[in-house]
């Protein structure tokens, strides 16, 4: 076990346990978590299949306490961590995702654009989060401040948006029928959001000028929609969702939801919270008890994250590797392992093997500074001058004018190295 960093970390802030990175777009920071992404991808796959959609749906998970999900101008679904925390089961989350896919499938975003004359407003991210299909927003200040004061919401637009939201609600309910599943959890979620809005002073009268229908109308729609005769409630899905929810709760400061969790999910969330509060010994003791009694390989990844946050990198890597035995595509665990490889005492041949074997990480996460820095170290040891020149170019892209970027890319595309050329093209596409 490697010695603790800085002589022992008694109090830590675990900012990186979910690989949280700040986005330039103005949205909240993004959460990158393989377990959650795989689960959401599976749910999205079910929705896409029953609705016979022929395109991939992209999504991002935002680190935000707001209970919300929305579709942005590029038809990417944004899912707030607060939504996951407040969903009482997987069906609630599935319903919200189906609602957002409804906005995409029914072409609502393009239709809403046409109702706004000033196209410059499309670049206002606070505006887009509403225009582009925010399902459940509990932030009335955003609605009033960003939209009403800009005179974007005429009565006609408000009615138009409310109609679209009801269409998306119907799309979600029909999706539940196609999946032969149902739950009162979506109604509970809407009631929770409504209460939080009322607590903020967002009365029913103010809901009249919102882009969303009255909560009571949405709930009535749910209650009156024909229930499934055959209930196909996926218990495996729900167990997986509960572990994910508990993890999100543990990394939040939400005592309200923490106290409502059932076991073993409450113990799991409490272990993470205890670790964040600086008691590693107690956190690992509690987490080990959960691991002993429950078969969930992602508990090992959480244990690795906690150990890593306290500076026990060698021990953490062992648990990341155990997670990878079952989930070999967990790139985030691979990054943790990769960034902690000590190359100082490696032979050139071993260094070259590491350079070649981790290129998938480089292609997928070239903008991850830890991955890039490790590759710079590898290239320096192997004296790969062409690669080093390109890595330095990547580091300076953010401050580079477009015409300079285009010239540099053109020059790099002359390389005879196929692996480097692949990376050049990837970065060109990402920045085009």
Mind listing the domains of the chain with CATH numbers?
33-224 (no CATH), 254-335 (1.25.40), 348-430 (no CATH)
CA distance 149 to 130: 14
CA distance 139 to 206: 12
> Per-residue confidence at 4, pLDDT binned at 50, 70, 90?
very low
Would you state the pLDDT for residue 284?
A: 96
> Per-residue confidence at 357, pLDDT binned at 50, 70, 90?
very high
Whether the CB-CB separation of 136 and 207 falls below 8 Å is answered with no
Whether the CB-CB separation of 103 and 167 falls below 8 Å is answered with no
Would you state the pLDDT for residue 112?
A: 61
Whether the CB-CB separation of 249 and 258 falls below 8 Å is answered with yes
- Given a cut of 60, whether residue 116 has pLDDT beyond it is no
- Given a cut of 50, whether residue 299 has pLDDT beyond it is yes
Predicted TM-score (pTM) of this structure: 0.80
Convert the pLDDT of each residue in 22-64 to its tens digit.
333 334 588 989 999 999 999 999 999 999 999 889 999 999 8
- Given a cut of 50, whether residue 6 has pLDDT beyond it is no
> Per-residue confidence at 301, pLDDT binned at 50, 70, 90?
very high
Pairwise pLDDT comparison (244 vs 168), residue with the higher score: 244
Least confident among 87-96, 179-188, 189-198, 292-301: 189-198
Place of tokens 């073993």: 264
Convert the pLDDT of each residue in 314-331 to its tens digit.
999 999 999 999 999 999
CA distance 117 to 3: 61
Phi and psi angles of residue 403, each rounded to the nearest 5 degrees, phi first: -65, -35
- Given a cut of 60, whether residue 276 has pLDDT beyond it is yes
């Amino acid at each position: 076990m490697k010695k603790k960093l800085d002589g022992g970390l008694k109090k830590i802030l675990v900012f990186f346990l979910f690989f949280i990175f700040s986005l330039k777009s103005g949205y909240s920071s993004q959460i990158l978590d393989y377990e959650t992404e795989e689960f959401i991808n599976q749910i999205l796959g079910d929705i896409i299949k029953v609705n016979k959609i022929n395109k991939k749906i992209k999504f991002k998970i935002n680190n935000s306490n707001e209970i919300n999900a929305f579709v942005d101008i590029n038809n990417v679904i944004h899912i707030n961590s607060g939504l996951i925390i407040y969903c009482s089961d997987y069906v609630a989350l599935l319903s919200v995702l189906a609602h957002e896919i409804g906005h995409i499938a029914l072409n609502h975003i393009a239709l809403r654009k046409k109702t706004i004359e000033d196209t410059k407003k499309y670049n206002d991210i606070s505006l887009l989060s509403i225009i582009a299909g925010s399902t459940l927003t509990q932030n009335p200040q955003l609605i009033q401040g960003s939209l009403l004061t800009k005179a974007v919401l005429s009565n006609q637009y408000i009615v138009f948006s409310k109609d679209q939201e009801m269409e998306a609600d119907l799309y979600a309910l029909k999706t539940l029928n196609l999946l032969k599943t149902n739950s009162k959890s979506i109604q509970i979620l809407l009631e929770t959001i409504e209460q939080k809005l009322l607590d903020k002073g967002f009365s029913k009268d103010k809901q009249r000028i919102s882009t969303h229908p009255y909560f009571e109308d949405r709930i009535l729609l749910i209650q009156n929609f024909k229930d499934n005769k055959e209930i196909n409630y996926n218990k495996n899905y729900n167990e997986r969702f509960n572990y994910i929810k508990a993890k999100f709760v543990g990394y939040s400061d939400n005592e309200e939801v923490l106290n409502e969790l059932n076991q073993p999910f409450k113990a799991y969330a409490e272990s993470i919270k205890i670790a964040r509060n600086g008691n590693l010994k107690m956190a690992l003791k509690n987490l080990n008890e959960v691991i002993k009694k429950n078969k969930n390989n992602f508990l090992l990844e959480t244990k690795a994250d906690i150990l890593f946050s306290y500076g026990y990198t060698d021990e953490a890597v062992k648990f990341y590797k155990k997670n990878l035995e079952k989930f070999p595509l967990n790139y985030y665990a691979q990054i943790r392992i990769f960034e902690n490889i000590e190359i100082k005492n490696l032979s050139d041949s071993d260094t070259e093997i590491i350079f070649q074997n981790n290129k998938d990480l480089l292609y997928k996460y070239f903008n991850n500074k830890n991955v890039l820095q490790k590759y710079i170290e590898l290239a320096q040891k192997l004296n790969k001058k062409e690669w080093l020149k390109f890595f330095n170019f990547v580091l300076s892209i953010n401050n580079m004018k477009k015409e300079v970027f285009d010239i540099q890319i053109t020059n790099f595309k002359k390389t005879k190295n196929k692996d480097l050329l692949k990376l050049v093209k990837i970065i060109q596409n990402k920045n085009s």
